[in-house]
Chain A
Amino acid sequence: MSEPVPEQRDYRLSLTRRKRRSGLLSHRGEVILAPPVQAGTERPFKLVGLDAPRRGRESGHLEATIRERLFGYEQALAHPLSVTIVGGVVAGLIVTGALILALRRRISDDVYHAAFQRWRSWCWLVGVIFLPVLAGALPTMLAVMVLSLLCFREYARATGLFREKTICAVVALGILLVTFAAIDHWQDDRLFFALGPLVGALIVVVSIPSDRPRGFIQRVALGVLGFALLGFSLGYISNMANVVHLGGTGADYRPLVLLLITAVELNDMIAAVIGRTLGRRPFLPETSPQKTWAGAVGAVVITTALVAAAGGWLFSGTPVAHPGWLIGLGLLISVLGQLGDLTLSSIKRDVGVKDVGATLPGHGGLLDRFNGLVLVPPAVYHYLSLALGETGPLGSEAPFRILTGSWGG
């Protein structure tokens, strides 16, 4: 007698589980977000991969959530922390602008022009960074992609890697894939994480056929380092843009991403200001002669306090709201922010250039401005995922695989 055939298990998530995991249903079964699409409010685009056969009355909710997340500019300033950060930064720009104008008579023309040029570059930067983040997840991801590509271009030109066209092409491809992975959002970010080792390996592999063993390690290492810092690491910001309910609170990705970027830039500025006014003992004179111990310590103290305060607000009601976790988050951002800065300083010293580019008048290249950001995003992502425990990893409440659907099982 043949044994009874065991029932075939469907490993794909049932619609209810999918909706529960995508934050549409609470564990008790109530619908917790995504109002049904009202007639006339549909946006003129089609999501290609959503499970076609499963489309029905319920999947309307799913599509609405996805649209809301990708293009939901209505939610731009929904969280008070976003309002505070954007308001604070804009106010800061207005005040410094007014100050520069007010001091015009008392400072020399050169100082005035340098200060004004720098201020104008800051205005551009704030607009170019804040607007996509506020506009929605997709604009955020595309902005991060452009930032990654431009930063990599500067890195490649400064290190000489730009002469290796094949490696540059693979890194560029890697950056595009990272963006795709963030948009598509596989379960537990599997595709995103897979890209780290896979693109690294691809850089090694494509360097072989040119049959030039001389300088092989250098080329490959430059490519892998470039992708790791500027493609994969910055790509974590894209990935964070998938957050819909940060640890079950009402916040989406916006306050988190704004906090992250603002804290890193502020950290950099505090270190420079304190370091130049109070600092005497150089920190790492060979790497970066301008940096002092006072600046480094001062930035750690102030940034940690600010991040802990903002974090306490953002994460209230989650496990991260514990002072220990909050101070840890602040330390992580401040210390890694400064180390990122020093990473780029080391690269520049090694190559023997002062700035990696001339894109931003008064600042140098884009990378000279964003160097603090290259180490922070992955650490913050994994730290928060760990700290949030049950509700982590970050973004796991958002709909999955919105482009690939159930392709590939």
Chain B
Amino acid sequence: MDNWDLTPARDLELAGAERHRSYQRESGLLSNVTRFAWWSVVRISLAVLHRLEVHGRENLPESPSFVLVANHASHLDAMVLGATLPLRLRDQLFPLAAGDVFFHTPALAAFSATVLNALPVWRKKVGAHAIQQLRSRLTEEPSIYILFPEGGRTRDGSMRPFKSGIGMMTAGTNVPVVPCYLEGTFEAFPPETFIPRLHKVIVRIGRPRTFEHLDNRRPGWDEVSGLLEADVKALAENRSPSPNRPTSHWN
């Protein structure tokens, strides 16, 4: 028989907002149940109110870790991407959210951490240390990130150039990155509105890429973001490179 293996929660010594903002956060039963309720409601309302259509679901990797990247037009985006995944992965799914918006006050931080399971990205001062923590979490334990490399929501509907943060997290690792294109979320929930409109939403999921061959340095990072930007643009022009495979492990 093995020795007893008691590993306390990594965030045991943190409390309140400090804990909610931490990359070390580990969640328990209460968040698990809350997220079940949240994602159930999100999936139903997306299906009913936005007639969500998902293309290319077979491109999703079989199990974590992986990263979903997409164009960013509204607060619906992360919910749409999350809704393409099976409900059982809800505790391994971490949308990377703007710290200055989603973790600004302790109450917001509690909501973002407990319900959304979001991890904060502090846009004004993204430290190398923070990126390193996100990178090691991705490689060391099964996790799924939702990331919008544009670094913010588009204000006019057109896509902005991708930033290199995604490269800093994945260059030189075998973590698959899945490019996705979201259509209709800008019309459904533009940045300056407060209530989503009933607009159809389509998500196209492209073929995953891995960046094992690239160096974890500036040129590698830029190449990662460039390749993914091209992938998302290709999906936007409906030149989806994904053939329909007969067997799908999600069904």
Q: Is B29 an interface residue (CB 8 A)?
A: yes
Contact B8 A157 (CB under 8 A): yes
A409 at the interface (CB under 8 A from B): no
Within 8 A of A (CB), among B92-132: none
Q: Are B12 and A157 in contact (CB under 8 A)?
A: yes
Contact of B28 among A157, A218, A357, A358 (CB under 8 A): A157
B238 located at the interface, meaning its Cβ lies under 8 Å from any Cβ of chain A in the complex: no
* Interfacial chain A residues near B28, Cβ < 8 Å: 153, 156-157, 162, 165, 168
B174-205 vs A: 1/0 string, CB under 8 Å? 00000000000000000000000000000000
Measured CB to CB, the closest approach of chain A to B16, in angstroms, equals 8
A169 interface residue per 8 A CB criterion: yes
Q: A356-B12, A358-B13, A358-B15 are in contact. Are A160 and B6 (CB under 8 A)?
A: yes
Contact A172 B12 (CB under 8 A): no
B6-A357 in contact (CB<8A) = no
Q: Which residues of A sit under 8 angstroms from B13, Cβ to Cβ?
A: 355, 358
Say yes or no for A204: interface residue by CB 8 A criterion: no
- In the complex, are the beta carbons of B26 and A162 less than 8 A apart? yes
User: CA separation between A351 and B10, bound complex, in Å?
Assistant: 12
Docked complex Cα distance between A357 and B32 (Å): 20
User: CB within 8 A of A157: which of B2, B5, B9, B32?
Assistant: B9
Contacts of A40 in B (CB 8 A): none
Cα–Cα, bound, A359→B14 (Å): 9
Q: A162-B26, A168-B28, A172-B29 are in contact. Are A350 and B12 (CB under 8 A)?
A: no
Chain B binding surface, main DSSP class? loop
A104 to B29, CA, bound (A): 43
Tell me the smallest distance from the CB of B114 to a CB of chain A, in Å.
13
B182 to chain A, nearest CB (A): 31
A356 to B30, alpha carbons, bound, how many Å? 18
CB neighbours (8 Å) of A358 from chain B are 12-15, 19
A352 interfacial contact with B, CB 8 Å: yes
Query: Is the Cβ of B8 less than 8 Å from the Cβ of A352?
Result: yes
Asked whether A158 is an interface residue with its Cβ less than 8 Å from the other chain, the reply is: yes
CB pair A357 B29 closer than 8 Å: no
Contact of A350 among B2, B6, B29 (CB under 8 A): B6
Q: Does A29 contact B (CB under 8 A)?
A: no
| A353-B29 contact in complex given A358-B15, A359-B15, C-beta closer than 8 Å | no
Residues from chain B with a CB closer than 8 A to the CB of A172 are 29
Whether A158 and B4, one on each chain, are in contact in the complex, defined by CB atoms closer than 8 angstroms, is: no
Closest to A218 in B: B4
Complex contact B15–A159 (CB within 8 A): no
CB distance from B15 to the nearest CB of A (A): 4
- What B residues does A289 contact at CB under 8 A? none
Bound form: Cα–Cα A165–B32 in Å: 8
**A215: Cβ under 8 A from any B Cβ:** yes
Q: Select one of A158, A163, A215 contacting B12, CB under 8 A.
A: A158
A175 and B181 CA atoms in complex are apart in Å by 47
B7 within 8 A of A: yes
Sort chain A's interface into a size bin: 20 to 34
Bound complex: CA A352 to CA B5 (Å): 11
Return chain A residues, CB-CB under 8 Å to B4.
218, 350
From B9, B14, B15, B30, name the one whose CB has the most chain A CB atoms within 10 angstroms: B9
Complex contact B6–A162 (CB within 8 A)? no
CA distance A165 to B8 in the complex (A): 15
Interchain nearest-CB distance for A357 vs B (Å) = 7
In Å, the complex CA distance between A165 and B26 comes to: 13
**Across the interface, do A159 and B6 meet the contact criterion of CB distance under 8 Å?**
yes
Task: For A214, list chain B residues within 8 Å (CB).
Answer: 2
Contacts of A350 in B (CB 8 A): 4, 6
Bound together, the chains give a CA A355 to CA B8 distance in angstroms of: 11
Cα(A356)–Cα(B5), bound, Å: 17
Q: Are A351 and B8 within 8 A (Cβ)?
A: yes
Cβ contacts under 8 Å, B30 to chain A = 153
* Given known A-B contacts A157-B12, A158-B12, A165 and B6 have beta carbons under 8 A apart: no
Give the CA-CA distance A153 to B30 in the complex, in Å.
Answer: 10
Scoring A153, A157, A355 by chain B CB atoms within 10 A of each residue's CB, the highest score goes to: A157
Asked if A159 and B5 make an inter-chain contact with CB atoms under 8 angstroms apart, the answer reads no
Q: Give A358 to B19 CA distance when docked, in angstroms.
A: 10
In chain B, residues 7-56, which have Cβ atoms closer than 8 Å to a Cβ of chain A? 7-9, 12-15, 19, 26, 28-30, 32
A355 to B13, CA, bound (A): 8
* Option from B2, B7, B19, B32 in Cβ contact (under 8 Å) with A160: B7
Residues of chain B with a CB closer than 8 A to A157's CB:
8-9, 12, 26, 28
Interface string of A147-188 (1 = CB under 8 A from B): 000000100111110110100110010000000000000000
Minimum CB–CB distance from A352 to chain B (whole Å) comes to 7
- B8:A159 contact, CB within 8 angstroms: yes
The 8 Å CB contact of B29, one of A160, A162, A355, A356, is: A162
Q: How far is the CA of A159 from the CA of B15 in the complex (A)?
A: 17
A364 to B31, CA, bound (A): 22
Cα of A163 to Cα of B91 in the assembled complex, Å: 11
Chain A contacts for B19, CB-based, 8 A: 358
The 8 Å CB contact of A215, one of B5, B8, B15, B26, is: B5
Residue of A nearest to B14 (CB): A358
8 nearest A-B pairs in the assembled complex, by CB-CB distance = A358-B15, A162-B28, A157-B9, A168-B29, A160-B7, A351-B6, A158-B8, A160-B6
17 contacts between A and B (CB under 8 A): A153-B28, A157-B9, A157-B12, A158-B8, A158-B12, A162-B26, A165-B29, A165-B32, A168-B29, A169-B29, A215-B2, A218-B4, A350-B4, A352-B6, A353-B8, A358-B13, A358-B14
Interfacial residues, chain A to chain B (CB-CB below 8 A): 153, 156-160, 162-163, 165, 168-169, 172, 214-215, 218, 350-353, 355-359
